[in-house]
Structure 1
Amino acid sequence: MGEVNFIQEEDIRLETTRARFSNVIRRHGELAERLSRDSDKMIFERLQKEFEVARASQTQEIFLDGDQWNDGLLATIRERVHMEADRKAMPGETSMLVDAHFQGKTTYKVGSKVICCLEGARIGIQYETSFAGEPCELYHCVLESKSFLEKMTVLEHTIPFFLPIREAENDFLSSNAMKFIDHVGELLQAYVDRREQVRLIKELYGNQIGELYHSLPYHMIEFVLDDFDCKVTVSLRYADLVSVLPTRIRALAWPMHQSKRTSSNLVTMNRKGNGAAGSQHIPARLAYAEDALRSMSLPEAYAEIVLNLPQALQQIFQNRSST
């Protein structure tokens, strides 16, 4: 009976710690959202209005595909915005003599990116994100440079603060602006994809999920299934912030509920020896679940895990009882 009491006390301590940690995570998420919401909303509304004005005044919109989006085109866009800024700085009559080619307002569409020439020698990029074919948020990034020959810098943006845009600026923008623009788009789409996968499993299977934790960019995700005979813990880690499938996965089945069914079972196990009792509390690795999480989206993998979980647990515990 001492072993039974010890296990019950351990369970109580674990549940208390878990509840406190869950509360800290929740409060952290609320604080992060509150700190960024108001200022980000004002910047978003201003930039969105500016993009709408730019697109409404465009003389043409060019759709680019494949090799059409390249460094040469980006250089042309940069030249265009600086020529326009210089033209507006000239006296009225002189500005009319500037090559009409550079007076046309062109917007470029590259996949999910819209590139506009903004006032003041600025280049604006609007990123469109989606999930399962449905549109999600819009994000903006505005680049500027003092002259055509100087490197561009990020002037302002509406990209979530926890995505490493400044690191991307340092790594790419000075040497390869096109790569920077594409990389930011990949960061945003991957973030939205991971976030929406988590949202969907909460929406579809929330009654089966006891706890769910994630980092702000959703590159670390953990959740617990406790609607079964065993408690199943799933831990996901992503190699980088442009990944949509996890690379480090651990799915474990903890036979906690089964051990609590009757204390007499534990007493019987104790009489057989501490080794037998201890083995009943060693988690079992769910290899089939890890394979599903590695190759499928999170909602698809979740459905696969739940469908095959009873059979997998039965096989695991039959093997244990026979050893």
Structure 2
Amino acid sequence: MDSDIEESLKKRQRKTPFLGDPSSRKQFEQFAARPYVMGEVNFMQEEDIRLEATRARFSNVLKRHGELTERLSRDSDKMIFDRLQKEFEAARASQTEEICLDGEEWNDGLLATIRERVHMEADRKAMPVDSNIVSAPHFQERITYKVGSKVICCLEGTRIGIQYETSFAEEPRELYHCVLESKSFLEKMTVLEHTIPFFLPIREAENDLLSSNAMKFIDYIGELLQAYVDRREQVRLIKELYGNQIKELYHSLPYHMVEFVLDDSDCKVTVSLRYADLVSVLPTRIRVLAWLSKKSGINATTMNRKENGVLGSHQNPARLSYAEDALRTMSLPEAYAEIVLNLRQALQQIFQQRSPTM
């Protein structure tokens, strides 16, 4: 009986040698694990290929979108701009006085006076020629009002024109126009035409503000345009100054969402910026993450250490709080310079804190 049991065990060991031989067991486990590792590598490679393909398609979509945007705005908007610009230049050339307004001098009462003057002038031109009316001094006045970066003047008919001057770093940028009209002094004004970029919400502002507070509408459009130019020029400037370091830069048309990658020798840093609204020039939602490069000299000892068969926590991205603070309080070019200047030191501190104790 015992001999039969021993013989049975020997046969089973010959069929599955790893059960009785530790070295054979280890060899079998390594062999069994090999297809899994290869499969994992292949899966990661396939994921990388798919990611690159998606990124290429997305970049192509953005490029085509930009070309379409330029084509849509290039012809018709340029014609409107040229016509309105000539009309504004003619109005300013014929002015008898330009009044600069500060603070409380620009108010609803003054805007009502401008509206009244426009309608009186239109009524006068519609009446038969009367030498007494024509010679009246107030009909001969051509007054233009300058309020900060806005120029307000009376145009032909019952139209009020506002020209917005934008700037960046105290240098002039584009001019924009908005023409308001009302059928009578008592009726609400409407936006007749404008040269404001189509992706800025002028129609929403017209519905929300113009009928109830025309002065607030005029001021808001000025803030909207200046903030847009500020955000756009900040992005343009970092591309101009640091284009060799910045990769994969994406932004929305109004530049209220901006993302880019800083490609450093020690790490790859992703920056994501969101602005609270379209009149903001500094972002409010900021996320800056850094992935340490395998070739980095920072904390190289920790990079090679494993715990419980899993790579240490340094493989997870590090959130760069100092960079987020800089972006929250400085212009984008200034914050970028601050980030690059302190990047290596910040990474060293972060990954030293993450390093397991020896």
Change in CA separation of 1:274 and 1:21 when aligned onto 2, cut-off 3 Å: farther
TM alignment of 1:43-58, pairs within 5 A: 43-58=80-95
Q: CA deviation at 1:305?
A: 0.3
Q: Please list, as runs of the form range in 1=range in 2, the aligned pairs for 1:75-94 lying within 5 A after superposition.
A: 75-93=112-130
Are 2:339 and 1:302 equivalent residues in the alignment? no
* 1:108 match: 145
The answer as to whether partners of 1:222 and 1:236 remain within 8 angstroms in 2 is: yes
Deviations 1:16-35 (A, max 9, x none): 32232222112212211211
Q: 2:205 aligned with 1:171, yes or no?
A: no
- After the TM superposition, which of the residue ranges 78-87 and 25-34 deviates more from structure 2? 25-34
CA contact (8 A) 1:107 1:117 kept: yes
Displacement of 1:260 = 9.5
Q: Could you say which structure has the greater relative contact order, defined with CA pairs below 8 angstroms and 6 or more residues apart?
A: 1
Question: Following TM superposition, by how much is the alpha carbon of 1:4 offset from its aligned partner in structure 2, in angstroms?
Answer: 5.7
**Structure 2 partner of 1:19:** 56
* 2:66 match: 29
Q: Does 1:258 align with 2:290?
A: no
Structure 2 CA distance for partners of 1:11 and 1:311, relative to 1, 3 Å: farther
1:218 and 2:252 aligned = no
Structure 1 pair 5/289, CA: closer, same or farther in 2 (3 Å)? farther
Offset of residue 172 of structure 1: 0.7
1:224-239 superposed matches below 5 A: 224-239=261-276
Distance, in Å, in 1 between the alignment partners of 2:58 and 2:304 is 35
- 1:276 equivalent in alignment to 2:317: no
Q: Would the alpha carbon gap of residues 32 and 8 (structure 1) be closer, same or farther in structure 2, given more than 3 Å must change?
A: same
From the CA coordinates, give the structure whose radius of gyration is larger: 2
Separation in structure 2 between the aligned mates of residue 33 and residue 268 of structure 1, nearest angstrom: 50
CA apart distance, 1:62: 0.6
Counterpart of 2:7 in structure 1 is none
TM-score (norm 2): 0.83
Please state whether the residue corresponding to 1:216 is helix, strand or coil: coil
What SS class does the counterpart of residue 191 from structure 2 fall into?
A: strand
Q: C-alpha separation between the residues in 1 aligned to 2:259 and 2:250?
A: 5
Unaligned runs of 5+ in 2: 1-36
Query: Runs in 1 of length 4+ with deviation above 4 angstroms?
Result: 1-9, 265-270
RMSD, matched Cα: 2.2
- Aligned partners of 2:50 and 2:72: how far apart in 1? 33
Q: Take 2:240 and 2:295, find their aligned partners in 1: how far apart are those partners?
A: 30
Q: What SS is found at the alignment partner of 1:96?
A: helix
2:304, 2:133 → 1: CA distance?
96
Counting aligned pairs with the same residue, the percent is: 81
SS at match of 1:211: strand
Aligned-partner Cα distance in 2 for 1:162–1:192:
13
Check the 8 A contact 1:145/1:153 in 2, yes or no: yes
The 3-state SS of whatever aligns with 2:315 is coil
